[in-house]
């Protein structure tokens, strides 16, 4: 698992980097766990753009990931570590003792042939899923549930992990990778270890075309637009008298956009 650099044969390749995919053991995905993934082009149900700078992209199939890990007490063997175009992390294909196959997020260090399990009483080792009350203090984990039985929703991107700080019935104090400390029920499940592919943030795309393959359309600066198109548009030449803000008028620097939520009471310490 590392980063490769291209020879600077062309200007676009001078700084371009890509993953060496050394941890990938299987090139073709499991057919039974694939489903079609329709493209929206950033448009909502009315046909209007609701998310800017999206469109194009290479064709993909969605890999169905088991975020719940609800087959308790049944051993599963890791058949392969695979690439998933829909996420930054690698995925692992498991085969359970009863013959069922499922994809999970691959933890860093998990290899083919390893055995994993989930549920209360599972051994404390990488890839196993346990309730927070059974995870030792100081241990790193990922794929964390916020509501018991709903499946993991936090800490799922490449190289991320959270840490168990302390336990106070009925909650655990969890430190997220953002620096936020949050209360989570001790009955919620989490998977031990940190997410695979930690070098993902070191990849340099190197050219505009590679962004287009990922479905990212060009961004245009607000200051170059007309006043009708953006709050920062207009003026003679390069004007600098605008307050940095989004197209909808929300200030861009230092302005907190989080609304009051019922879950605010579970945040012990805000992120930095």
Does pLDDT of 63 surpass 80? yes
Structure confidence at residue 241 as a pLDDT band (50, 70, 90): confident
The 3-state DSSP composition of the chain as helix, strand, coil percent (nearest 5) reads 10, 25, 60
Cα–Cα distance between 1 and 21 in angstroms, integer? 6
| Peptide bond just before 125 cis, omega within 30 deg | no
Question: Which residue has 């890990």 as its token pair?
Answer: 69
Domain 3-40+55-201+263-269 in CATH: superfamily?
Nucleic acid-binding proteins (2.40.50.140)
The pTM of this model reads: 0.92
Half-sphere exposure of 225 (CA within 13 A, CB side): 14
Report how far Cα 243 is from the mean position of its chain's Cα atoms: 32
For residue 209, give both structure tokens.
């075309």
Does pLDDT of 249 surpass 80? yes
Does pLDDT of 174 surpass 80? yes
Cα–Cα distance between 157 and 84 in angstroms, integer? 12
Residue range 251-268: mean pLDDT, rounded: 93
Does pLDDT of 272 surpass 90? no
DSSP summary character for residue 222: G
pLDDT at 1: 67
Residue 267 CA: distances (Å) to CA of 45, 133, 144, 188: 34, 19, 15, 16
Burial bucket for residue 233 (CB in 10 Å: 0-12, 13-18, 19+): middle
């Amino acid at each position: 698992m590392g980063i490769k650099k291209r020879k600077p044969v062309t200007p676009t390749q001078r700084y371009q980097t890509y993953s060496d995919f050394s941890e990938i053991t299987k090139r073709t995905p499991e057919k039974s766990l694939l489903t079609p993934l329709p493209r929206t082009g950033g448009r909502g149900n009315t046909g209007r753009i609701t998310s800017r700078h999206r469109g194009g992209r290479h064709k993909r199939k969605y890999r169905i990931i088991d975020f719940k890990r609800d087959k308790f007490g049944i051993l599963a063997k890791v058949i392969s570590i695979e690439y998933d175009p829909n996420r930054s992390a690698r995925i692992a294909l498991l085969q359970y003792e009863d013959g069922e196959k499922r994809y999970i997020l691959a933890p860093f260090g998990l290899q083919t042939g390893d055995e994993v399990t989930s549920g209360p009483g599972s051994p404390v080792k990488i890839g196993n899923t346990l309730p927070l009350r059974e995870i030792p203090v100081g241990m790193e984990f990922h794929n964390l549930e916020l509501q018991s039985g709903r499946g993991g929703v936090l800490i799922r991107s490449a190289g991320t992990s959270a840490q168990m700080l302390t336990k106070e019935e009925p909650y655990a104090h969890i430190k997220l990778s953002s620096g936020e400390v949050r209360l989570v029920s001790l009955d919620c499940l989490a998977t031990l270890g940190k997410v695979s592919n930690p070098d993902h943030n070191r990849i340099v795309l190197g050219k505009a075309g590679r962004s287009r393959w990922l479905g990212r359309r060009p961004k245009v600066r607000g200051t170059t637009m007309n006043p009708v198109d953006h709050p920062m548009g207009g003026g003679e030449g390069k004007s600098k008298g605008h307050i940095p803000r989004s197209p909808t008028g929300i200030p861009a620097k230092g302005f907190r956009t989080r609304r009051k939520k019922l879950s605010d009471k579970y945040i012990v310490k805000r992120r930095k």
